[in-house]
Structure 1
Amino acid sequence: MITFYPGPSKVYPQVAQYIQEAFDSGIISANHRSQEFMQMLERTIAGLKSKLAVPDDYEVYFVSSATECWEIIAQSLIIDSSLHVFNGAFGEKWMEYTHKISLRTSEASFDYNENLLLDHSAVFSKNEVICITHNETSNGTKVPDSFLADVRQEFNNVIAVDATSSMAGVALPWENADVWYASVQKCFGLPAGMAVMIVSPRAVEQAEVVGERKHYNSLLFIRDNFLKFQTPYTPNTLGIYLMEKVMQQVTPIEELQIQTLERARNWYAFLAENGYELLVENEEVRSDTVIAVRETKERVAYLKKSAKAAGITIGNGYGKEKETSFRIANFPAIEDSEIRTLMDFLAREAVK
């Protein structure tokens, strides 16, 4: 089955070999306080920072999921409140979860076809965390890098960014935010069960001001361990090993982004040429990694069923557009031949 589901999505085919190598090496049975594990963790972090061009002074942690990152940010970084900038289901869920923990949240929601502009009249407490969903997986939109640059220039607040469906697929403007996080089952091409959290010195300073150490996943507790190339709790050792191997395999993000953007342009052109209606009409905010197509409820059900019979999985719609859209992952692990297969299928179905 060829999968274009936007997470969990296609895993790099080499991962099967890497899993066997991990088993044969004994690393997945190693104590996570052992020298063997610590050396692997150090190599993995170094490889990730190199391939994704992460600034030297930003720190990398591995946790269980992007959802856990919501919890870590709420517990360990919020002093006064948090402002959530979003236009879709996952950004809204982040705000709702934060509210359950901190009770102090506000929203700046916008339409998914809207150009996001900075409100220069806004006034924030310096302790308010600004939370932005970089790539909204539910509806196939993105926040332009120019918006993040404007927010960074205008405010000194800690900025946290959900990059779950864009990290490792496109180059990210790391220095325009302080916390970046992503689950690995999308652009990283890895099995679900781990997330990457990348934090700036500014975020560390705020965590130290908050001083929160009550939880197993308190940011300061995580950091104490990662500085020693250890983890605060028994980690996903296999996931970390696979991350090391995939980071060795992939090209630098600057090169990988060229492929991602070219494929996105090809997809959008193909869909328009074949009469498919895009969910996101505004080209400036269309995602490069998750492509959303609008159809009738009946047509969506038909296409999903027909694609499955042809050995192809396309993504369900999500949130408000669950039944009237489908999504196509444009992640690096997907091969050109697989894209051609889906395009051929959609071209045939377009004339029916």
Structure 2
Amino acid sequence: MPVVKPVVKPARPWFSSGPTAKRPGYKLAGLSEALHGRGIRAPETTARFAYGLKLTREVLGVPDDYVMVFTPGSDTGAVEAALWGMLGPKPVTVVAFENFGLTWAEDVRDHLKLDPVVVKAPWGDLPDLSVVDWSHDVVFPWNGTTSGVKVPDGDWIAADREGLSICDATSAAFAQPLDWAKLDVTTFSFQKALGGEAGIGVMVMSPRAVARLDENVPAWPVPKVLRLTGKDGKFDRTLAEGVVINTASVLTMEDWIDALEWAKSVGGCEALIARTDANYAALEAWVQKTAWVDFLPQREDIRSTTSVCLKFTDDRVSALDDKGQKTFVKRFKALLEDEGAVYDMEPHRNAPPGLRLWCGCTVETADVVAIGPWLEWAFATAVAEI
């Protein structure tokens, strides 16, 4: 029996995993006081960037003795700045269970010419973290944006580690609890959990990470846009005071400040995590009652609550080859977007065919509930065309 097209649409049908949905009630006009046309190092501009760092620290609950800086290039730039500026003194392990973990492993091997140990797992799974050697510097994602897999906690990270823990937390920050005592370098971008604009990354560094910058002389030239040290070869402390490595968008910063002030107004990080968990629970309830779909990760404790990745379990879709399944996803996506019901529900281009739906804190739970009937209608329509 054909599924009837739903009537009620999500009020905010945006489910991209980056840039993610803006905060509820967002209006571009609210940024009208931005310091357009001012020098990036003018005192007023630097003060706004410093205020952005201060708000970020307050919302996330970053320890007082940790240092925070902005980097060019979003989260990618922040991770690369850590790799290029800090690696070398110790062996390196990269934990890779999704696209970006694999990218960091390639960069360490092919560009820095180091020989990392790569601890891998297939899509939808988490590797055996007990094999990680903490005499190494260890690079890992907290939440795999492209695979829907997260580390369950920070218990696997050694408290007495010799190496640095370098964590790509871009789709976990503001949405999942981060164990700061176990993290030496934590990176994220504006455009993930709080729906900011792209282009600027954030790096949070423990005293151990700052000491590494002060002491380490990389064996390779570090590009200026990744350079966290000054002419004396030590960490440039002005970066922690609102100075930026290169020219950054003041409008993007004002957008970030707007998101952070909203986050404080709703109750801070604890409230943001609760909003995320409620969204995930709503989607989980729909998955559990829907026969043709399941979570890509089979283990419940490693399922991402933000970038939720699903797979098709219907035999008619499973019988298609990879190209056929990708074509099916394109048709599925087009049906939803032509109706203005759900935007950007497709998986990452390197991930297995399926669905990926952002459930972070800027999404409203009522909108997550509203997408279920639309997904069912799109599936029934697309599968009938096979």
TM over 0.5: yes
Distance 2:185 2:169 in 1: 10
1:161 aligns with 2:167: yes
Match of 2:223 in 1: 215
1:101 to 99, 103, 111: 111
Match of 2:179 in 1: 173
1:18 aligns with 2:43: no
**Contact (CA 8 Å) 1:15, 1:190: kept in 2 or not?**
no
Distance 2:36 2:336 in 1: 37
Match of 2:97 in 1: 87
Q: Secondary structure at the match of 1:132?
A: strand
Q: State the shift of 1:134 in Å.
A: 0.8
**Contact (CA 8 Å) 1:225, 1:232: kept in 2 or not?**
no
Greater fraction helix: 1
- What are the Cα deviations for residues 103-133 of structure 1, in whole angstroms up to 9, with x where unaligned? 112201123454554436x655x4x320011
Distance 1:197 1:224 in 2: 13
Distance 2:338 2:124 in 1: 33
Distance 2:130 2:160 in 1: 10
**Contact (CA 8 Å) 2:310, 2:355: kept in 1 or not?**
yes
Deviates further, 166-175 or 109-118: 109-118
- What are the Cα deviations for residues 239-296 of structure 1, in whole angstroms up to 9, with x where unaligned? 2222222211113101111111122122112112122222111111100101111123
- Amino acid in the other structure paired with 2:298: E
Would the alpha carbon gap of residues 228 and 291 (structure 1) be closer, same or farther in structure 2, given more than 3 Å must change?
closer
**Contact (CA 8 Å) 1:84, 1:95: kept in 2 or not?**
yes
TM-score by length of 2: 0.82
**Contact (CA 8 Å) 1:38, 1:229: kept in 2 or not?**
yes
**What residue ranges of structure 2 are gaps of 5+ in the alignment?**
1-11, 318-324, 382-386
- What are the Cα deviations for residues 174-207 of structure 1, in whole angstroms up to 9, with x where unaligned? 2211111112211121122221111111101111
Deviates further, 81-90 or 206-215: 206-215
1:339 to 368, 371, 382: 368
Q: Secondary structure at the match of 1:149?
A: coil
Match of 2:277 in 1: 261
Distance 1:178 1:15 in 2: 36
Distance 1:223 1:334 in 2: 37
Distance 1:320 1:228 in 2: 38
Match of 2:37 in 1: 29
Q: Secondary structure at the match of 1:67?
A: helix
Would the alpha carbon gap of residues 154 and 59 (structure 1) be closer, same or farther in structure 2, given more than 3 Å must change?
closer
1:76 aligns with 2:85: yes
- RMSD over aligned Cα, in angstroms? 2.3
**What residue ranges of structure 1 are gaps of 5+ in the alignment?**
none
Match of 1:3 in 2: 14
Distance 2:240 2:310 in 1: 44
Matches within 5 A, 1:303-314: 303-311=332-340, 312-314=342-344
**Contact (CA 8 Å) 2:305, 2:360: kept in 1 or not?**
no
TM-score by length of 1: 0.89
Matches within 5 A, 1:1-352: 2-12=13-23, 13-22=25-34, 27-64=35-72, 65-79=74-88, 80-104=90-114, 105-114=116-125, 116-119=127-130, 123=133, 126=135, 128-145=136-153, 148-153=154-159, 155-212=161-218, 214-216=222-224, 217-221=226-230, 223-250=236-263, 251-275=267-291, 276-295=293-312, 296=317, 297=325, 299-311=328-340, 312-318=342-348, 320-322=350-352, 324-349=353-378
Q: State the shift of 1:14 in Å.
A: 1.7
- Amino acid in the other structure paired with 2:99: A
Q: Secondary structure at the match of 2:229?
A: helix
Q: State the shift of 1:67 in Å.
A: 1.6
**Contact (CA 8 Å) 1:74, 1:101: kept in 2 or not?**
no
Q: State the shift of 1:161 in Å.
A: 0.5
**Contact (CA 8 Å) 1:137, 1:165: kept in 2 or not?**
yes
Would the alpha carbon gap of residues 236 and 129 (structure 1) be closer, same or farther in structure 2, given more than 3 Å must change?
farther
**Contact (CA 8 Å) 2:130, 2:156: kept in 1 or not?**
no
Would the alpha carbon gap of residues 115 and 229 (structure 1) be closer, same or farther in structure 2, given more than 3 Å must change?
closer
Distance 1:315 1:175 in 2: 35
Q: State the shift of 1:320 in Å.
A: 4.9
**Contact (CA 8 Å) 1:81, 1:102: kept in 2 or not?**
no
Deviates further, 134-143 or 228-237: 228-237
Distance 2:156 2:20 in 1: 33
Q: Secondary structure at the match of 1:11?
A: coil
Deviates further, 236-245 or 128-137: 236-245
